């Protein structure tokens, strides 16, 4: 038989009094308590600020550090003259699994560029932050590197970004009170 019989470990006398485990538990928690307490005290004197006494980030005042590759809110990159780099090739609109990009193309005066977006709407209420639009763009025209995380709105309409907001993050929309 290939059955492996596991012996059930009986609790010994000390285990059943609970005392050793209680002492170990108190040792661990008190260790944290006194270490953090001393650190908090030193911080209030302005010392050892580099060592954190708590893992908490007090969010609105203090943002959690983001990884460099974190995908945050979208933006459209600009040429030197401030016009969008986007050539309205519709690649991102096509690849987007959430179908939240809506581009209206217009003819660009420069024949080398051919097209430009007359309007570029992105509905953040639908976006799943997959980043496909960034991957697929041939012109490096759309990026997700604004580091904006606090996206909140009172209605679905307010979640929609238009080309102005995408070109200049935090310039329009909710951010204007």
Q: Which of 16, 68, 80, 177 binds other proteins (CB under 8 A)?
A: 16
Q: Which of 137, 163, 166, 167 binds ligand SF4 (CB under 6 A)?
A: 137
Q: Tell me, by CB under 6 A, how many residues bind ligand SF4.
A: 27
Region of 54-62, 64-72, 73-81, 91-99 interacting with other proteins (CB under 8 A): 54-62
CB of 42 to other proteins, least distance (A): 14
The answer to whether 130 and 100 are in contact (CB under 8 A) is no
Q: Which is nearer to ligand SF4, 127 or 159 (CB)?
A: 127
Q: Note the Cα 93 to chain centre separation in Å.
A: 22
Q: Which is nearer to other proteins, 17 or 94 (CB)?
A: 17
Q: Which of residues 107-166 bind other proteins (CB under 8 A)?
A: none
Is 159 a residue that touches ligand SF4 (CB under 6 A)? no
Is 130 a residue that touches ligand SF4 (CB under 6 A)? yes
- Give CA separation, 54 vs 33, 49, 61, 70, 162, in Å: 11, 11, 15, 23, 40
Return residues touching ligand SF4 (CB under 6 A).
86-92, 95-98, 100-101, 103, 122, 127-133, 136-137, 139, 141-142
């Amino acid at each position: 038989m290939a059955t492996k019989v596991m012996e059930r470990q009986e609790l010994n006398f000390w285990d059943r009094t609970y005392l050793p485990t209680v002492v170990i538990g108190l040792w661990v928690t008190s260790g944290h308590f006194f270490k953090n307490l001393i650190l908090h005290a030193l911080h209030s004197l302005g010392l050892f600020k580099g060592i954190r006494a708590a893992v908490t980030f007090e969010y609105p005042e203090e943002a959690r550090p983001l990884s460099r590759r974190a995908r945050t809110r979208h933006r459209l990159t600009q040429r030197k003259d401030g016009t969008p780099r986007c050539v309205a090739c519709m690649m991102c609109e096509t690849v987007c699994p959430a179908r939240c990009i809506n581009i209206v193309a217009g003819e660009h005066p420069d024949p080398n560029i051919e097209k430009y977006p007359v309007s570029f709407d992105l509905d953040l209420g639908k976006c799943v932050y997959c980043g496909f639009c960034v991957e697929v763009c041939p012109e490096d025209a759309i990026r997700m590197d604004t580091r904006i995380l606090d996206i909140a709105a009172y209605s679905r309409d307010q979640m929609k970004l238009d080309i102005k907001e995408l070109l200049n993050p935090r310039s329009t929309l909710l951010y204007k009170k």
